[in-house]
Chain A
Amino acid sequence: MSELLELTAAQAADAIRRGEIEPDALWSAYRERAVADELNAYTWVAGAEPPEFDRSSPLAGVPVAVKDLFATEGIPSQAGSKILERYRPPYSATAVERLTGAGATLLGKTNQDEFAMGSSTEHSAYGPTLNPWDTGRVPGGSSGGSAAAVAAGTAPWSIGTDTGGSIRQPAALCGIVGMKPTYGAVSRYGMIAFASSLDQAGPFTRDVTDAALLLGVMVGEDPRDSTSIRLPGPIALPSATDLDGIRIGVPEELTGEGIEPGVLKAFEATLDVARELGATVEPTRLPHAPHALAAYYILAPAEASSNLARYDGVRYGLREDGADLLSMYTETREAGFGAEVKRRIMIGTYALSSGYYDAYYGRAQKVRTRISEDFRAAWESFDFIATPTSPTVAFELGAKLEDPLAMYLNDFCAVPMSLAGIPAISIPNGLADGLPTGFQLSGPAFSENRILDAAHALEKAIGFDGSKARKA
């Protein structure tokens, strides 16, 4: 049984196609682990009956865990919120349909920060998820359940969403691979929205090859999402083993103050590995990157304040009856939303208010444009920008709950790429005090294949061993 669980998803898919393993056995092995999960990574686990799938399809019979906020027909899709408790959508998200259409089987829905707002998965109405490396610590967030499930080996792989680091940061804190593709590469249809102009789905996997395989199935233009785009070519399985001729820029603004020494040490070791593989590594500037977090915390809450207006008790989800319409609205939202969601709705509502719009939303949009321009300038000299994914390793449960700003700072290195809409991957690159650290590699829009190739070469050379977390 343990041999089954040690297979990567790509290996398992191959073995199923060749008839070497029984998909039902793989299903049962993972399902049992998911049911027995003690990390609170899941908000729903599928029944014992293995789902139907087409054996000739690319992901044939490999189970996948899906972040709670993806709409799944007839299956609870609560986005980590009490306001959507027991909500079962009548339709499935495009990303989920593409996975199941490619033969993947839906193993479970994973825990998350409420409406993807958070960096620790502690802001879930269904309790925090624990980090499999140290259950006294957070797995990161907002897609903490998806990251913990893969790291703990209760799922071979999973999907999540990244608005300002919500895939990359938990991947880093859990010692696995997480990738946010170019904005628009994966359809947002059926993804319960946090901030529409930033939300982007992507894979969590044990290695880079799995990430390429899963992402390759997820991407594609979708007539139901006008902001979706077609990548210039299909996602290829990575094969590079060196970085010859690759130019890596290291932005001063994202690699200095605020990065934990252990994280910085691992980062520098990886830069050495990159050099050994043939890359040139040079410092560069992203002058506006330090303002990214401030702009992000205007734009994302502004969009969220509008996106979350629909949770009012009228049509679905929680309803608290009130004496009149207004009290039904306020009591439903008071009872249904957690503190962090309320905080962001307040910020966003304020930022869009008449008289404040230009000073906040308008100005933040200008910063966003400047950040994109910074990256565009960097691509003239570099193939990739490298930074630590998260400035810290996994922190203790509760450590930052009372200090929202400290929590926000965890996405300091991840947010600029989100604002620029560019692809970025996080790969595990070592341990600091026994906890995983992440290495972030980002490239220009549509450079997914080049990023995956470079990450593949680095991964082989780093030789990170994540099996410890899966034993637990």
Chain B
Amino acid sequence: MTREQTFTVWQGQVRMRVLSKGDGPALVFFHGSWGLTWDPFLDELARHFTVYAPEHPGTTPDAPDDIYHLDGLWDLVLCYDELLQALSLERPAFVGHSFGGMVACEVAAAYPGRARGLALIDPLGFWRDTDPIVNWMVLDPAQLRARVFREPDGEAARALFGGSSDPEAAIRARIRLMWSMGSTGKFIWPLPDKGLKKRIHRVKAPTLVVWGKEDRLVPPVYADEFARRIAGARVQTVGDAGHAPHLEQPETVARMVREFLSQ
């Protein structure tokens, strides 16, 4: 059973729901551009950690317009700081996927003492002219699936993007997806480099970088950008997985994260 609790931060203007499960050491999961879905990966982590999974501002149900109270990445980082204070977590581990990986890294750079360990799964945050990242926000649904997943028609893709034959559910899933991309896109449009390269040296937490070998959205070469800037960072790749290896290979990635954080 997941627990849920909604916190209000930013002078009472931003509501953030946090899903949680487990009773081990604290771990905060920062979701990607496509919204938070409680998935088998989080279940797997929850067997060993207390997983706290906040919803990015704007993506909490019934609070879509809260996103308009944040103007830029600095506001967002401070917002997460307020949330972590509200959760009263003593040096949790940070795990972040894609956009959430970038946010986790930014928070860890802004507050070097805050994270006990950092696990970044196919994170955004850098730009290489030689390896451009396709703007996932202007792809049609089929193209988007094909960019994010190794198997665009697989179970993991259906779980994230909705694959229901029920038209009502499909509409709800589409609204949720579009608003999640808009609310996260606010901090990353039009290119996913918002200056992390100037700040990443401040990260002090032991860091693991995990990458799907067949990531067709953010090519695995981007792992180097993180590895060479974070002292002692380790890189592990995941076979048979695209941009969301934790969804296509949940047990493998959960094991990597668990083993890393247990050291």
Chains A and B belong together in one complex: no
Residues of chain A touching chain B, judged by Cβ–Cβ distance below 8 Å, are none
Residues of chain B touching chain A, judged by Cβ–Cβ distance below 8 Å, are none
